[in-house]
Homo-oligomer: A and B are copies of this chain.
Amino acid sequence: MDLNKFFKAKSIAIVGVSKTPGKVGHVIFRNLIDAHYKGELYVVNPNAKEILGYKSYKKVQDIKKPIDLVAIAVPAVLVLKVLQDCQKAKVKNVIIVTSGFRETGNEQLENKLRNFLIHNRMNAIGVNCLGVLDTYTNVDTLFLPRFRLKRPKKGGIAFITQSGAVGSTILDLASKNNYGFSKFVSYGNATQVDEADIIEYLANDKQTKVICMYIEGVVDGKKFMRIASKASKKKPILVLKGGTSKEGHKATISHTGSLAGNEKIYNGVFKQTGIIQVETLEDMFDYARLLEKSMKPKGKRIQVITNGGGFGIITTDALVKNGLELATLSKDSERILKKNFPPIAQIQNPLDVLGDATTDRYKLSIETFLYDKNIDIILVIALLQTPLITVEIVDTITELNSLNKKPIIVVSTGGDFTEVLRNSLEENGVPTFVFPENSARAIKALVDYNSN
C-alpha cells in the first residue's frame, strides 16, 4: 500500500473548516499555515466565502486542481458524502479525523465507509484519529493548538498510535525533551489503513530509524505478523500494548472498539515477530532514543565509569538485574589506568574515577576502554556537581563517541547545570539518561535487538 502522499502531500484540502477558531477543522488549517507547510492549501466549507484569507470551496470537486490529500473534519453523518465528493475529484488519500463510529456503537456507518473506500481504491487513515505529522514536510493534521501541543524536532523516531491522546501527549513531551521524530500517525479505528500498513511504510522510510507503537489490538493478526516480522529485521519496533489487564482490556472496547484479545497470544506474537514489548511509556521513548542514536554493540559486556561510588553500585545492580554482564577489563587497560590514576584508585568495574576526577581522567578511561576487546559497551556516569569536571566533558565525550568504535552511553543526574550539559551531549549524538536504572533497561533492549 502506497502511503507516501500522506506524508509528502504537495497539496492538501481540509473539509469542514469552521470560521470559528478552536473548532477542529479550523485548528488543522491554522496549524498548517503556522507550520509553514510549503504545498498548496485548500479549504472546503459550503457556508463560508473565505477563511483566514483563503477562498472557501463548496465541495472538494470545485477545487479543480490535483489534491494529494484531503483531511475530513465534518460530523460523522456527513463523512460518506465527502468521500463521494473526493472520489469524484479523483482524490486517493484521505484522513478522517471525525469520531462517532464503531467506538460509540455506530459500526454500521463505519462499515459503509470501509466498503466505499475499498470499492473506490481510496486509502483512508482514521476514523476517530488525529492523522499524521511529518516533521520534514510539515504535513500536520493534528487538531490541537501548537501552543498547547508543541511539535517535536526532526529526528529518527516514528510513532504509530491507536490512541490520539497517547500520541499527542507524547509528541508534546518529546518536543520538551528535545527528542527527534520523523513521522507520527494516529490511526484511530483503522477503518481501512491499519497498523500493519503503516509499519510496512515506515520500515522503508529512510528518515525513520526506530518505530514506536501504542496499540490496543491489531486488525488482522496474520497480516500483522507477516509485515512486522520483515520490518523488525530492518529496524527496531517497540510496542506498548494497552489492555494487558482484564480491566484495561474491558476499557479498550469502549475506546477504539478493539477486541484486545488474549494477552498471552499478543506476547507470543510480539516475541515471534521480533517486536520489543515495553512496560511503560517512559521506557518506550528511553529505548527508542538509545536505539536511534547508538551503534550496534558486539555483545553485552558493559564497562561502567563513575565519579560517585554509590552510583556505580546502583548501576551495577540495575545492569545485572537486566541480564547484562560487567566486563572484565584487559590487563592492558589495567596497566594504563594504574599508571595514570592516583594510587588510591581501584582499577576495576565499575571504575571509580573518584570525586576529584577531571575531564582528563574520563577521557583517558573512555579512550582506553574503546580499545579493550573485553568491553562491548561503555556506560559513563558523569555527576557534574563536582568542581573539577569542566564543561569540556561534552566535547570530549562527543569526540570519542564519533569515533564509532563502541556504544558510549552517559548518565548524568542533577539539576539545571547538569541538564544543560546532558542536553548538549544528546544533541551531539550521545545517548543520555537521568537515572542509571532507566539506562540499564534501555541497554538491555539495545543488546537484545542487536543479538538477533
Contact = CB atoms under 8 A, between A and B. Distances in A.
A144 B387 contact: yes
Contacts of A147: 417
Given A165-B308, A310-B214, A387-B27, A280 B435 contact: yes
Contacts of A148: 384-387, 417
Interface in A193-241: 214, 216, 240
Interface in A166-213: 166-170, 172-173, 175-176
Given A255-B310, A308-B165, A311-B163, A149 B415 contact: yes
B316 A247 contact: yes
A435 B285 CA distance: 12
A169 B255 contact: no
Contacts of A216: 310, 313
Given A165-B307, A355-B164, A280 B437 contact: yes
Interface in A6-60: 22, 27
A311 B355 contact: no
Given A255-B309, A309-B255, A310-B216, A317 B245 contact: yes
A279 B437 contact: yes
Contact of A313 (B248, B311, B314, B438): B248
B104 A163 contact: no
Nearest to A441: B280
Interface stretch (A342-350, A401-409, A442-450): A342-350
Contacts of A145: 387
A75 to B, nearest CB: 12
A80 interface: no
Contact of A414 (B169, B352, B384, B388): B169
A329 B252 CA distance: 19
Given A145-B387, A162-B310, A281-B437, A414 B320 contact: no
Given A148-B417, A173-B413, A435-B281, A251 B316 contact: yes
A299 interface: no
A281 B387 contact: no
Interface string A332-359: 0000000000001010101010010000
A243 B311 CA distance: 11
B282 A435 contact: yes
Nearest to A387: B22
Nearest to A152: B415
A308 B385 contact: no
Nearest to A412: B169
Nearest to A281: B435
Q: Assembly of this chain: how many copies?
A: 2
Interface in A371-416: 383-388, 413-416
Interface in A258-285: 279-282
Contact of A251 (B22, B245, B307, B313): B313
Contacts of A104: 344
Nearest to A346: B254
B169 A308 contact: yes
Nearest to A325: B247
Given A316-B251, A385-B148, A310 B242 contact: yes
A432 to B, nearest CB: 14
A360 interface: no
A173 B383 contact: no
A165 B383 contact: yes
A281 B307 CA distance: 17
Contact of A176 (B247, B282, B419): B419
A169 B311 CA distance: 10
A156 interface: no
7 contacts: A27-B387, A148-B384, A164-B355, A169-B311, A247-B319, A247-B320, A251-B312
Given A147-B417, A169-B308, A242-B314, 16 more contacts: A148-B417, A150-B417, A163-B310, A165-B309, A165-B311, A165-B355, A165-B383, A167-B310, A169-B311, A170-B413, A245-B317, A247-B316, A248-B317, A252-B313, A254-B352, A281-B413
